[in-house]
């Protein structure tokens, strides 16, 4: 099955309000909402564009994975998320190809979205997230 | 004017054929075509997904900008391209906000697509390309 679309592109930033100053105020994207996720220790701004969205992610502690990424690599493009129809089938096919999965089986967000990450070493350097949205 | 969509996400890779082994063969994206651009010293594979596409870019010399990026930063997400209706108006608005443009005025590709880059220091670390497609 062919993947459906780019669901989002995630950007790690030092300061989400400053980044909104560019992506919303200068570039002109709508700001759908911002969200503080205490579990992952990040603040995220969601800016839709076409059928996808830009997510601006700021770490709010110094210990999270995203905070360590920011400290090591600096601000910038963090991961790409592609939406598929059947994430279990996609992961099976990717694993069968010999590519390395970070999540062998899909994990679930509170809204029912299933997700899993593919390791950058198998994609040409890209941290790739797959999404399967809940049935409506 | 609100930007239209994510036109493409560009990935710099060591080996475009190996990367196609993941993005086409394992993930299942169609490979639209590959192109050797001697002027920019890159080989590019274009893989459409939804209304956008993934571009896998391999430098074919060691002197190009992309080759230096690869040597310095390693393979991975390189830039994000967002399509707008009126690139001149978008650049004017971005410049007026105080953001730094790499191209103050749009440049033109052979097919008539207008493009310009915004400097990562103004976007939260993202090399951002803007596209305006030629009128049909």
User: Which residues in A lie closer than 8 A to residue B4 (C-beta atoms)?
Assistant: 49-50
Chain A nearest C-alpha distance from B18 (Å): 8
What is the predicted pLDDT for the residue at A54?
Answer: 98
CA distance linking residue B125 with residue B116, whole number of Å: 16
Report the CATH number that the domain containing residue A114 is assigned in CATH.
3.10.180.10
- pLDDT of A136 > 80? The answer is no
CA distance linking residue B45 with residue B54, whole number of Å: 8
Alpha helices in B61-132 (DSSP H): 65-73, 87-96
CB contact under 8 A, A122 and B94: no
Mean pLDDT of A12-33: 97
How far, CA to CA in Å, does B68 sit from each of A99, B41, B60, B74, B81? Answer: 27, 12, 11, 9, 20
pLDDT tens string A40-68: 899 999 999 999 999 999 999 998 889 99
pLDDT band per the 50, 70, 90 thresholds, residue A135 = confident
What is the predicted pLDDT for the residue at A131?
Answer: 97
CB contact under 8 A, A123 and B90: no
Complex ipTM tops 0.90 = yes
pLDDT tens string A3-21: 999 999 999 999 999 999 9
What is the predicted pLDDT for the residue at B67?
Answer: 96
Along the 136 residues of chain B, how does pLDDT read in single tens digits? 799 999 999 999 999 999 999 999 999 999 999 999 998 899 999 999 999 999 999 999 998 889 999 999 999 999 999 999 999 999 999 999 999 999 999 999 989 999 999 999 999 999 999 999 998 7
- Given a contact cutoff of 8 angstroms between Cβ atoms, the answer to whether B24 and B13 are in contact is no
What is the predicted pLDDT for the residue at B108?
Answer: 95
Token digits of residue A16: 């989400």
What is the predicted pLDDT for the residue at B106?
Answer: 97
What is the predicted pLDDT for the residue at B26?
Answer: 97
pLDDT band per the 50, 70, 90 thresholds, residue A39 = confident
What is the predicted pLDDT for the residue at A9?
Answer: 98
Average pLDDT score, chain A: 96
Half-sphere exposure of residue B3, counting CA atoms within 13 Å on the CB side? 32
- Among B29, B78, B125, select the one facing A3 at the smallest CB separation: B29
Chain B nearest C-alpha distance from A131 (Å): 13
CA distance linking residue A54 with residue B6, whole number of Å: 9
What is the predicted pLDDT for the residue at A56?
Answer: 98
Q: Where are the beta strands (DSSP E) in chain A?
A: 5-12, 33-37, 42-49, 52-59, 76-83, 107-108, 114-118, 128-132
Q: Which domain holds residue B40?
A: 3-132
- Given a contact cutoff of 8 angstroms between Cβ atoms, the answer to whether B101 and B95 are in contact is yes
- Given a contact cutoff of 8 angstroms between Cβ atoms, the answer to whether A24 and B49 are in contact is no
Domain count, chain A: 1
- The pTM for the full model equals 0.96
Chain B nearest C-alpha distance from A64 (Å): 19
CB contact under 8 A, A30 and B2: yes
CB contact under 8 A, A14 and B124: yes
CB contact under 8 A, A90 and B28: yes
> CA-based angle B47:B49:B55, to the nearest 5?
35
């Amino acid at each position: 099955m062919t993947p459906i679309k780019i669901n989002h592109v995630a950007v790690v930033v030092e300061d989400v309000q400053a980044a909104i100053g560019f992506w919303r105020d200068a570039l002109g994207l709508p700001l759908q909402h911002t969200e503080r996720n205490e579990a992952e220790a990040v603040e995220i701004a969601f800016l839709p564009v076409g059928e996808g969205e830009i997510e601006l992610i700021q770490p709010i502690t110094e210990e999270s994975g995203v905070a360590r990424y920011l400290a090591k690599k600096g601000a910038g493009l963090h991961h790409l998320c592609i939406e598929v129809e059947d994430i279990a089938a996609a992961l099976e096919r990717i694993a069968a190809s010999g590519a390395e999965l970070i999540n062998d089986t899909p994990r679930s967000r509170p809204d029912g979205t299933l997700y899993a990450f593919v390791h950058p070493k198998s994609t040409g350097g890209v941290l790739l997230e797959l999404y399967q949205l809940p049935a409506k």
